[in-house]
């Protein structure tokens, strides 16, 4: 597919999965199951999702000097994203510990590792000339702010996924065209009503669907796709990747939200945040089935 360039700036983590019947209590030891290791991190997940959904993607992030570095770089190579803008820092790569529960929900603990050492100079080079720039808050907030500010110089469409929640996101809003938040993240930034006066807000609500609040204007409701979730860990990131891939093709916000929701649904039906089941064709099948129903 021919599309404008999407630049994703963000985190790279080695995700260690463990299946649990429930979250353990303090002092309690439990046996887990389905131990697994997957490439992850919100930035990497979103970049891979965007590429799988047909976008031309460049990614800016950092890995450590450990054995996980090659593992994470390989995740980019699989979807033909260049590692040109991936820095190597001393010490461990980022890591996430994902506790997967029987209902498809999860609890996650993240250790930043090399993500905390991503430099502003790396970001400046990466965003130059991109048409759409997407970033999140698993790296240091000043990195996200730099990405958005630099993107403005090239008239790129700027997208901030304000996750995990951080108060610094409010200060970034003048450089944001589209803000993607869930209910918790919106509440932490003063609430949906305050946000929608500042910026276009894409409000994700899991099984309740997505609402797009155009800045000071109309509201567009996009229902969720009916699925039986297996692992929701990367569904939100897949939404972001699918959404910006659609934005880069120049479709409407409503259609972009619909394709993002379909991407999230595909990922939630599989184990791991970067399933090969996600593709532009898989997204279109879901969207077209809804239209024809």
Residues with active-site annotation: 237
> What SS3 state is found at 8?
strand
Confidence class for position 1, pLDDT limits 50, 70, 90: very low
In order of 42, 133, 147, 286, 287, the CA distances from 293 in angstroms are: 33, 34, 41, 11, 10
Q: How confident is the model at residue 2 (pLDDT cuts 50, 70, 90)?
A: very low
Decide if pLDDT at 233 tops 80.
no
Q: What is the pLDDT of residue 100?
A: 84
197-213 pLDDT tens trace: 999 999 999 889 999 99
Q: What are phi and psi of 235, to 5 degrees?
A: -65, -45
The arithmetic mean of pLDDT across residues 84-104, rounded, is 91
Q: Per-residue pLDDT for 87 more than 90?
A: yes
Pairwise CA distance, residues 125 & 281, whole Å = 32
- pLDDT tens digits, 6-65: 999 999 999 898 999 988 899 999 999 888 898 999 999 999 999 999 999 999 999 999
pLDDT over threshold 90, residue 292: no
Residues 6 or more apart from 29 whose CB is under 8 A from it?
Answer: none
Q: What mean pLDDT, rounded, does the chain reach?
A: 93
- Measured CA to CA, the distance from residue 79 to residue 98 in angstroms comes to 23
The pLDDT of 87-104, averaged and rounded, is: 90
Determine the average pLDDT of the residues in 101-128: 90
Q: Does the pLDDT at position 4 exceed 80?
A: no
Buried b (16+ CB within 10 A) or exposed e, 260-274: bbbbbbbbbbbbbbb
**Confidence grade of residue 250 (pLDDT, cut at 50, 70, 90):** very high
Output the pLDDT for position 229: 84
CA distance 237 to 226: 18
Checking if the pLDDT of 180 tops 80, the result is yes
């Amino acid at each position: 597919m021919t599309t404008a360039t999407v630049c994703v700036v963000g985190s790279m983590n080695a995700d260690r999965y463990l299946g649990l019947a429930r979250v353990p209590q303090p002092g309690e030891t439990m046996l887990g199951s389905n131990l697994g290791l997957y490439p992850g991190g919100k930035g990497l997940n979103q970049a891979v999702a965007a590429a799988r959904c047909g976008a031309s993607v460049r990614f800016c992030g950092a890995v450590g000097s450990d054995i996980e570095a090659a593992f994470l770089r390989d995740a980019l190579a699989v979807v033909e994203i260049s590692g040109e803008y991936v820095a190597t820092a001393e010490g461990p790569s980022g890591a996430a510990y994902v506790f997967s529960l029987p209902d498809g929900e999860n609890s996650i603990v993240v250790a930043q590792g090399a993500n905390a050492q991503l430099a502003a100079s790396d970001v400046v080079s990466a965003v130059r000339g991109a048409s759409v720039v997407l970033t999140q808050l698993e790296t240091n907030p000043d990195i996200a702010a730099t990405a958005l500010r630099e993107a403005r110089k090239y008239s790129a469409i700027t997208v901030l996924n304000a996750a995990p929640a951080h108060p610094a996101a409010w200060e970034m809003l003048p450089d944001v065209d589209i803000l993607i938040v869930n209910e918790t993240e919106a509440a932490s930034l003063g609430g949906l009503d305050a946000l929608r006066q500042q910026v276009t807000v894409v409000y994700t609500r899991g099984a309740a669907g997505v609402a797009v609040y155009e800045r000071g204007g109309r509201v567009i409701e996009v229902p969720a796709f009916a699925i039986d979730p297996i692992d929701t860990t990367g569904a939100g990131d897949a939404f972001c990747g699918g959404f910006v891939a659609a934005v880069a093709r120049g479709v409407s916000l409503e259609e972009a939200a619909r394709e993002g929701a379909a991407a999230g649904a595909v990922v939630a039906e599989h184990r791991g945040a970067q399933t090969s089941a996600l593709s532009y064709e898989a997204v279109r099948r879901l969207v077209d089935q809804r239209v024809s129903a």
